[in-house]
Amino acid sequence: MNGSNEKTKTKIKAIPEPTLRRLPLYYQYLKKIQAEKNSQYISCTQIGNELNILPIQVRKDLEITEASGKPKLGYGVKGLIGNIEDFLGWNNTTEAYLVGVGHLGSALLGYHGFKEYGLNIIAAFDSDESKIGTETHGKMVFPVSKLPEMIRRMGIKIGILTVPAYCAQHLTDLMVEAGVHAIWNFSPVKIMVPPGIIVQHENLASSLVVLSKKLSMSIKTDRQ
Partner DNA sequence: ATAATATCGATATAATATTATCGATAAATA
Partner DNA sequence: TATTTATCGATAATATTATATCGATATTAT
Residues that bind a second copy (CB under 8 A): 10, 15, 17, 20-25, 28-29, 50-52, 88-89, 94, 102-104, 106-107, 110-111, 113-114, 117-119, 137, 157-158, 181-182, 184, 188-190, 196, 198, 200, 202-216, 218-219, 224
The residue among 73 and 210 lying less far from a second copy, judged by its C-beta, is 210
Looking at the chain, the number of H-run helices and the number of E-run strands are 8, 9
Name the residue among 210, 185, 181 with its Cα closest to residue 198: 181
Question: Which of a second copy, DNA, none is residue 8 near (CB under 5 to 8 Å by kind)?
Answer: none
Question: Which of DNA, a second copy, none is residue 184 near (CB under 5 to 8 Å by kind)?
Answer: a second copy
Contact call for residues 99 and 124 (beta carbons, < 8 A): yes
The per-residue b/e assignment along 148-186, b for 16 or more CB within 10 angstroms, e otherwise, is eeebeeeebebbbbbbeeebbbebbebbbebebebbbbb
How many CA atoms are closer than 13 Å to the CA of 13, on its beta-carbon side? Answer: 8
- Min dist CB 15 to DNA, Å, is 8
- Min dist CB 207 to DNA, Å, is 15
Tell me, residue by residue from 40 to 79, as one string, x for binding to DNA by CB under 7 A and - for no binding: ---xxxx------xxxxx-xx-xx---xxxxxxxxx----
- List residues near DNA by CB under 7 A: 14, 16-19, 43-46, 53-57, 59-60, 62-63, 67-75
